Amino acid sequence: MQMDLLSDIRQDLCQKANLDWLLHQFDVKNAFLHGELTEEVYMDIPPGYNTTQTGIVCRLRKALYGLKQSPRAWFGRFTMAMKNNGFKQCNSDHTLFLKHRKGKEISQLQDYLATEFEMKDLGGLKYFLGIEVAQSQQGIFLNQRKYVLDLLTETRMLD
């Protein structure tokens, strides 16, 4: 699955390079905590919570990180925010949102998303999921040097 994801990312970045699009990155703090659940979800009482009753469960009102519904709930809320800001969702790739660029669109998008989510502007894309990204006039260049060095250091195999 990791290789499929990397292949998808490479293909997506290749398309961006061919279209001469700028890559910009935002970080949404606690993204998966922003999802609204559309179905009833229950969980066991957390360890360490003292109760004398048995068979008690918690009903969740918001998505939690690690909950299988969290990514879908987060993406649903993000999709609505993007559409409310005038973006159209691509039919062939539902994770791609398009809007004709007008002036300072990135700063307007950041301002709008900041009203919906607590977020930080990371600027031009430089590092994503273990992939270093460098964008220039000649194209987009990807490498995993830092990722590999971190793995070798962690496993004490750097020598």
pTM metric for this prediction:
0.65
**Residue 155 pLDDT:** 94
**Residue 154 pLDDT:** 93
Q: What is the mean pLDDT of each run of 10 residues along the chain (159 residues)?
A: 64 76 81 72 81 81 72 84 90 82 76 87 84 82 88 91
**Residue 1 pLDDT:** 42
Backbone angles phi, psi at 25, to 5 degrees: -125, 135
And the tokens for 42? Answer: 């229950």
pLDDT tens sequence across 36-62: 777 888 888 878 887 777 778 888 877
